[in-house]
Amino acid sequence: LYCTCSTSKPYVITTPLYYVNAPPHMGSAYSTIAADSIARFQRLMGKKVIFITGTDEHGEKIATAAAACGSSPNDHCDAISQSYRSLWKDLDISYDKFIRTTDPKHEAIVEEFYSKVLANGDIYRADYEGLYCVSCEEYKDEKELLEKNCCPMHLKPRVSRKEDNYFFALSKYQKRLEEILEQNPDFVQPVYRLNEVQNWMKSGLRDFSISRASQTIYVWFDALLGYISALSQDQEQLSLQTAISSGWPASLHLIGKDILRFHAVYWPAMLMSAGLSVPKTVFGHGFLTKDGMKMGKSLGNTLKPNELVQRFGPDAVRYFFLREVEFGNDGDYSEERFINIVNAHLANTIGNLLNRTLGLLKKNCQSTLVADSSVAAEGNDFKDTVEKLVEKSKLQYESLLLSSACESVLEIGTAGNLYIDGRAPWSLFKQGGASFDSAAKDLVLILEAMRIIAVALSPVTPKLCLGIYRQLGYTEEQFNAATWSDTKWGGLKAGQVMAPPNPIFARIEVVAEEEGG
Ligand code: ME8
């Protein structure tokens, strides 16, 4: 059942399907930004990528949220779902499919799947009594309780429920799940999340309720299937089979650690029951915190991503969270740190290096390269440094070490700054003769390094990288057609004309607050 993916199979990557109980916050944006950078990297690697995101529109808290703002559930869902789409646009999210779980096509897939699981004898009816957390949409064990019946995640009391339910026979899959985890150490990542799942499984899997006898299908059972129905969305024939032939199983489910067990345990068991392959990898990232508290819709302490984007632009937001948070771990947001990092890395290390190099090129070489970058690099170890760093970043992207990948690419910029400062081409130009010629070659080296940065950092900061490419005399089409093979040294050629200097990334200026203001 475990997929050994062939090269022709698309790389299918998913974000969680977000609840529409409230507009997106920085936590929702974080998962999606990370997924987008991975999708973009895989496209650079030549993969056909299917990047799935969307909204989860069932469940009690959504109905409650709609009622609270006086809208009908449909209008409420339409409006919030749309706010996700528009944030994704503002953040340059290159998704391929946006699935809404209220889509009738999705509902048809859920029915087909349900009947397969039913036919397999994995659904039975029984009474159930327990404590339910509406925010998690999950029954909780006594041992998971804080005092006063509170859910530790949402700090809200759980409600006692007794219902006639349909259950999914999860316990039947204990052994097979253990085998998957053992045989595929990459199935749950990072490794400390795999340990969490294994520990959780040790206490024995309990069957879970998938529907109240009187009601619709349990939100989680329904929502997870969104990943599959997204794949058959545009197919003429709507069925599990078309979804599968369109790319199932997923290569990577990217989720927050809060919903790890649904993805790493419930979901593979459901898939096995229906006779489908399990995903290749489930990656559980950490939480963004603000003042040390998980940022979340239920807690109301959110950072508004659209405000951040408006103030600082998409690249700064994408870069900060991917570079600053070690992918997998929690990370804290502070405005001061945000501004410092973005200024130091994007405005100084990259932007300023490009700008001063283009300034020198304009002044001394009419903005034209004097040599092929491969020729200019002869007998110079700067090229080796760049090649090593870019190779390192590739391996890091492949291993989902996104922060390290950013770091390696930035090191190319740091090496460029060191090189230019050491060589001081501005004085060599003044000396004339052979010194002038070697200074002109130095500029070619730096600009070639900038070209490589533009390709290698494009999964993280696409707009900024397009800006670099343009200044190096390329078109947007050429940028869009770039692949990872373009990180190879030797792209810039003699005679190529660069744009005049024009800062590609404006430093964020901190406006000192007025006394008392
Ligand atoms: O759970 N830091 O939807 P959801 C980082 N509908 N990421 C965070 C975060 C934070 N503070 N808060 C939330 C659901 N997230 C279900 C999913 S999937 C078939 C159904 C991210 O709107 C994180 O990825 O509550 C988390 O898993 C996701 O938002 C949950 O979004």
pLDDT at 314 over 80: yes
pLDDT score at 143? 65
Instruction: Show the beta-strand stretches assigned E in 359-487.
Output: none
Question: pLDDT for 240-278, tens place per residue?
Answer: 999 889 999 999 999 999 999 999 999 999 999 999 999
Burial of 495 (0-12, 13-18, 19+ CB in 10 A): exposed
Q: Which atom, in ligand 1's list, is nearest to the CA of 288?
A: 2
CA of 287 to the centre of ligand 1 (A): 9
305 Cβ below 6 A of ligand 1: no
pLDDT at 216 over 80: no
Closest CA to 394 of 409, 382, 384: 409
CA of 355 to the centre of ligand 1 (A): 40
CA of 296 to the centre of ligand 1 (A): 8
15 Cβ below 6 A of ligand 1: no
Range in 163-177, 236-250, 297-311, 318-332 with the lowest mean pLDDT:
297-311
Instruction: Show the beta-strand stretches assigned E in 391-435.
Output: none
Q: Which atom, in ligand 1's list, is nearest to the CA of 227?
A: 19
Contact 91, 314 (CB under 8 A): yes
Residues in the chain: 517
Residue to substitute in 31, 137, 252 for testing ligand 1 pocket (most ligand atoms within 8 angstroms of CB): 31
Mean pLDDT of 99-114: 92
Range in 154-158, 225-229, 321-325, 410-414 with the lowest mean pLDDT:
154-158
pLDDT score at 285? 98
Question: pLDDT for 279-290, tens place per residue?
Answer: 999 999 999 987
Range in 6-15, 162-171, 213-222 with the lowest mean pLDDT:
213-222
Question: pLDDT for 466-509, tens place per residue?
Answer: 999 999 999 999 999 999 999 999 999 999 999 999 999 999 98
Mean pLDDT of 118-144: 79
DSSP per-residue string spanning 234-284: T-SS-SHHHHHHTTPSPSEEEEEGGGHHIIIIIHHHHHHHTT-PBPSEEEE
CA of 15 to the centre of ligand 1 (A): 9
Nearest residue (by CA) to ligand 1, atom 26, is: 256
296 Cβ below 6 A of ligand 1: yes
218 Cβ below 6 A of ligand 1: no
Neighbours of 421 (CB within 10 A): 9
| Cα–Cα distance for residue pair 375/90, rounded to 1 Å | 41
pLDDT at 455 over 50: yes
pLDDT score at 153? 66
How sure is the predictor about 513, in pLDDT bands with cuts at 50, 70 and 90? low
Q: Which atom, in ligand 1's list, is nearest to the CA of 21?
A: 22
pLDDT score at 267? 97
53 Cβ below 6 A of ligand 1: no
CA of 28 to the centre of ligand 1 (A): 6
pLDDT score at 155? 64
pLDDT score at 499? 96
31 Cβ below 6 A of ligand 1: yes
Mean predicted lDDT score pLDDT of the chain: 91
Residue to substitute in 19, 258, 320 for testing ligand 1 pocket (most ligand atoms within 8 angstroms of CB): 258
Looking at residue 205, its amino acid is: L
| Cα–Cα distance for residue pair 314/33, rounded to 1 Å | 10
pLDDT score at 140? 73
Nearest residue (by CA) to ligand 1, atom 31, is: 18
Closest CA to 52 of 31, 83, 80, 76: 31
Nearest residue (by CA) to ligand 1, atom 13, is: 27
CA of 174 to the centre of ligand 1 (A): 26
